[in-house]
Amino acid sequence: MVKSVGVLLYGRVALFEFGVVHEVFGLDRTDDGVPAFDFRVATPEPGASLGVGNGVSLQVSHSLAECRDVDLVVIPGGSISGDYPDEILDTIRTVVDGGGRVLTVCSGAFVAGAAGLLDGRRCTTHWRYGSDLARMFPRARVDTDVLFVDDGPITTSAGTAAGIDASLHLVREAWGPAVANRIARRMVVPPHRDGGQRQFVEAPVPACTDEGFGALLAWMTANLDRDISIDDMATRMHMSGRTFARRFVDEVGISPRRWLTEQRVLSAKNMLESTTASVDEVARRVGFTSATLLRHHFAASVGVSPLVYRRRFAKAAADS
């Protein structure tokens, strides 16, 4: 049961990530049937000012010793350097050893990794930092397709606002859906979001060392509506199909068919955001033979259906 929550701050504070956790656990909503959490904010040097940028700073009065017995200790986003105060690492290890839980928001996962808490565990962080997390902590199983991950006593969440999803998940787990829904309603956010980080990741055209492959990718991107076969690609490169497929993987990192599908999905995302074209029309323009095929590849790549994606990201909907 999560009754006491300690947020550990150090260095430069990621204000939004801290604010997310404070919004879920730190506000008194007992008038709405939400339990009162024992909410503590602590730092290695109580009383010192912690900068948040733009001339703003926070002053924290609690010491880390006051957070060693909490049910949940939270690490908001911050540095990904891997160099963290030993007192912070010792505190989160102590909480876990005592049967408590750890929640990290965004790059806060790097702190959990430095404490050895991600070894052998599945975890996530912001999609931009996934490769860094995997490189620095090779025993961690990093998955940047998701909004948050529970593995044992460690909950890691993706970039920034995904901390809301993870925090509400922990409330739901400890106090039930009714309490989580009340908090979500007060915050004017959905109590549970489907999909994952894939909705927010751009897929830029890779830089190729071979100019011929670079020109081929540009041609493919400009002709997505055409029926492009492997033989068509190989012919443009003056190669056999087998040699071309091998060289393509060497240059781009994935198969030509998969790359073409990803570009079609990316183009579909852009059209869904910026036009009112029907899903059938979008499918035709990006080279899928049917709306059904578009829906299949779109859901596999992005995690939600084209219509759900449009509702969330369409400029027309945002303007209205």
> Active-site residue numbers?
106
> In Å, what is the CA distance from 311 to each residue of 124, 158, 272, 299, 314?
26, 22, 9, 15, 6
Measured CA to CA, the distance from residue 160 to residue 14 in angstroms comes to: 9
* Dihedral-angle region of residue 106 (phi above 0 means left; psi in -120 to 50 means alpha; beta otherwise): left
DSSP-derived 3-state class of residue 202: coil
CA 10 remoteness from chain centre: 22
Q: For the chain, how far is it from start to end, CA to CA, in angstroms?
A: 42
Q: Cβ neighbours of residue 168 under 8 Å, at least 6 residues apart?
A: 24, 180, 183, 184, 189, 191, 192
Beta bridge partners of 180: none
Q: Phi then psi for 101, rounded to 5 degrees?
A: -115, 160
